[in-house]
Amino acid sequence: MNLQAYLVVAAALVSVGLFGALTQQSIVMLMMGLELLLNGVILGAAAFWYFLAPAGTEGQVLIVIVVTAMAIEMAAGFAVTTAIYRAKRIDMTDDAAELRG
Amino acid sequence: MITLALFVVLAATAIVAGALVFRVDSMARATFLLLLSFLAVAGLVLMTGLQYLGVVIVLMMVIEMVVMAVFMIMYMMNPAGLMTMTMFHNTRGAVAIAATVFVALAAGALVVDWPVRGGVPAPDLTMALGESLMSGQMLTMMTLGVTLFATIVGSVVLATGRGRYDRLGDDLGAAESDDRDRGGVGR
């Protein structure tokens, strides 16, 4: 087991999460895709810390930041979902296209 | 040998459960598959010796997924998989993008000549993280704190249906609050 093995697994998680975030019509499922993507980032950060620079704490701090970002994404995402559902009864990404360029 | 087997099992669980999230019919099942994927990643993080962060991930994700399940019930398209329907759009394009990203990232991971491991882990990693957050990384910690507070305020504002400005006017000076139902203590 080495850095490469960890990073390939992390890359797979990021790709699956990206696929979910791009394909899902439900806003809640879209957020699950984003969470999975960040999950891969956590694994990558842990691997970089352990295999390259275990003496420092930067890798650990990065994991703390990503975990916080996941919490913020969930809270803000559900607040936006609630607001848009209350205003327009929308729970699908395809219906929320006002900002489409 | 045991470590390798554990790694393979956890990695496969993380990826397969993550992929199944977007395959199952029921959104409740999807939530718990996502939790399984998170727990497997937490296991992999624990394998690198980061006990504190691994446990934090486990605790946080269990709570987060339970909260998510509540929102699932509020906004779900397909309760308990009883109503078969497709929940995808632009699948082909997304597969192409995700596959490209995976190939690029995996190629980067395998091709790059990574530096050799420098230094040894601190004897008490949790202590080292705490000291770092309270000294050198203090700015990071403070930024996280302020961002979390802003998130609390922002999500409450977004999620509130009718706030005090709707009830009492922009200067909060209305003599009587504009409520759908009369009564209450007013102002």
- pLDDT band at B78; cut points 50, 70, 90: low
User: Is B56 an 8 Å CB contact of chain A?
Assistant: yes
Per-residue pLDDT of B61-77, as tens digits, reads 999 888 888 887 777 65
Which CATH number fits the domain that encloses residue A22? 1.10.287.3510
Residue B33's Cβ-side half-sphere holds a number of Cα atoms within 13 Å equal to 20
Q: What is the pLDDT of residue B159?
A: 87
Q: What is the pLDDT of residue A72?
A: 94
Q: Which chain B residues have a beta carbon less than 8 Å from that of A85?
A: 75
Cα A51 from Cα A83, distance rounded (Å): 44
Q: What is the pLDDT of residue B107?
A: 95
Taken in order B6, B10, B11, B16, the sign of the CA dihedral is positive
* Percentage of residues in chain B having pLDDT higher than 70: 91
Confirm whether A81 is domain-assigned.
Answer: yes
Q: What is the pLDDT of residue B54?
A: 94
Residue type, A61: V
- pLDDT band at B97; cut points 50, 70, 90: very high
What is the domain count for chain A?
1
**φ and ψ at B8, to 5 degrees?**
-60, -45
Tell me if A8 and B106 make a contact (CB, 8 A cut-off). Answer: yes
Q: Evaluate if residue B149 carries a pLDDT over 60.
A: yes
Instruction: Identify which of A23, A38, A36, A35 has the alpha carbon closest to the alpha carbon of residue A92.
Output: A23
Interface of B with A in 151-180 (CB under 8 A): 151-152, 154-156, 158-159, 161
Q: Evaluate if residue A82 carries a pLDDT over 70.
A: yes
Confirm whether A100 is domain-assigned.
Answer: no
Region B38-46: mean pLDDT is: 95
Tell me if A50 and B48 make a contact (CB, 8 A cut-off). Answer: yes
**8 Å CB contact between A79 and B155:** yes
Q: Give the structural domain span for A53.
A: 3-93
* Percentage of residues in chain B having pLDDT higher than 90: 55
For residue B48, give both structure tokens.
């690198």
Confirm whether A42 is domain-assigned.
Answer: yes
Confirm whether A72 is domain-assigned.
Answer: yes
Q: What is the pLDDT of residue B101?
A: 96
Q: What is the pLDDT of residue B76?
A: 65
Cα A10 from Cα B54, distance rounded (Å): 16
Confirm whether A101 is domain-assigned.
Answer: no
Say how far residue A39 (Cα) sits from the centre of its chain. 6
Query: Cα distance from A99 to chain B (closest Cα, Å)?
Result: 18
Lowest mean pLDDT among A35-44, B115-124, B130-139: B115-124
Q: What is the pLDDT of residue B43?
A: 95
Q: Evaluate if residue B84 carries a pLDDT over 70.
A: no
Q: What is the pLDDT of residue A52?
A: 92
**φ and ψ at A26, to 5 degrees?**
-75, 135
Q: What is the pLDDT of residue B17?
A: 95
**8 Å CB contact between B54 and A72:** no
Residue type, A82: T
Region A53-80: mean pLDDT is: 92
Query: Cα distance from B93 to chain A (closest Cα, Å)?
Result: 9
Per-residue pLDDT of B102-129, as tens digits, reads 999 999 999 999 999 888 888 999 999 9
CA distances, B29 to each of A22, A89, B21, B24, B72 (Å): 20, 24, 8, 7, 10
Q: Evaluate if residue B92 carries a pLDDT over 60.
A: yes
Contacts A–B by Cβ distance under 8 A = 227
Q: What is the pLDDT of residue B59?
A: 95
Q: Evaluate if residue A69 carries a pLDDT over 80.
A: yes
**Angle, in degrees to the nearest 10, between helices B91-111 and A3-23:** 160
Interface of B with A in 124-143 (CB under 8 A): 125, 128-129, 131-133, 137, 140
Confirm whether A98 is domain-assigned.
Answer: no
Cα A42 from Cα A64, distance rounded (Å): 9
- pLDDT band at B80; cut points 50, 70, 90: low
Q: What is the pLDDT of residue B183?
A: 64
